[in-house]
Amino acid sequence: MPARRRCGVLGDPIGHSLSPVLHRTGYAVTGLDWEYDAHQVPAGTLADFLGSLGEEWRGLSLTMPLKREVMSLAGGVSPAAALAGAANTLVRDDDLTWRADNTDIGGARAALAERGATSVESATILGGGSTATSTGLALCDLGAREIRLLVRSADRATETVTALRAHPGRPEVVVAGLVDDVIGDVAVSTIPAEAQDPGLVARCARVPVVFDVLYHPWPTPLALAAGDRVLVSGLDLLVHQAALQFTLFTGLDAPLTAMRTAGEQALADRGVT
């Protein structure tokens, strides 16, 4: 077994990622002499990158555009990743094969629960990509029986609709446009801050829980308008999914508080409050 393990985050673009800060903090707190770096891996090149890695590599975090591409490359797939049709995590097993997992679902579920949203009946998700899938499945895990997807193009939400309808809770999934009503216990935004126009923000005003998956730029228009309502941030999601990855990679409990503090400091250093 290699004396030192390596992990990393892959994607394109990747320079903005906070994952190195979070995971390195976890290693420092737990006394692990491990490495974790960011690697730019464009779409269509993941197979070559994986083939270039030595046996010292233990785990990989995946961001866009690799979350669905990885599914055909893994030697094994967890139930969560299979349900989502996407993975944000690769774990190297002892036989050196890669196992795909999805900690975005558990991370979203934990982020909501941490803010007191432990039971959900219905929700609206803005956007229909892989993040909408993982947050939607988390909402289903928390009991949501109805989910509305508000999207610019219904065709782009097909994979998300299929995944949500396959959840064991068998929720009703409705697809509508971004100009339609926002209803339910939770409003989840997976769209860019610049797409959060005043009309959309106003339509979210009556939803008691606002979950914006962004952490930079922050605060977004939806976050600014949340007022005294429950607000779940992209940093909440990022820290919780990274903590789950940390445990999958190392077998140790993640130092969640230290990882969150490091993430907050890194954002403050970038001028994000």
Total Cβ atoms within 10 A of residue 265 = 12
Give the contacts of 202 (CB within 8 A, at least 6 positions apart): none
Q: How far apart are CA 9 and CA 40, in angstroms?
A: 8
Tokens representing residue 124 in the block: 């609206």
First to last CA, the chain: 42
In sequence order, the β-bridge partners of residue 147 are 123, 173
Nearest one of 235, 244, 243, 226 to 265, comparing CA atoms: 235
What is the identity of the amino acid at 2?
P
Strand order in the sheet with 89-92: 35-40, 6-11, 57-62, 89-92, 98-101, 76-77
Q: Mutual orientation of helices 234-250 and 19-30 as an angle, nearest 10°?
A: 50
Tokens representing residue 89 in the block: 């995590």
DSSP character at residue 158: H
Active site residues: 67
In sequence order, the β-bridge partners of residue 122 are 146
Q: How far apart are CA 222 and CA 202, in angstroms?
A: 9
Total Cβ atoms within 10 A of residue 229 = 14
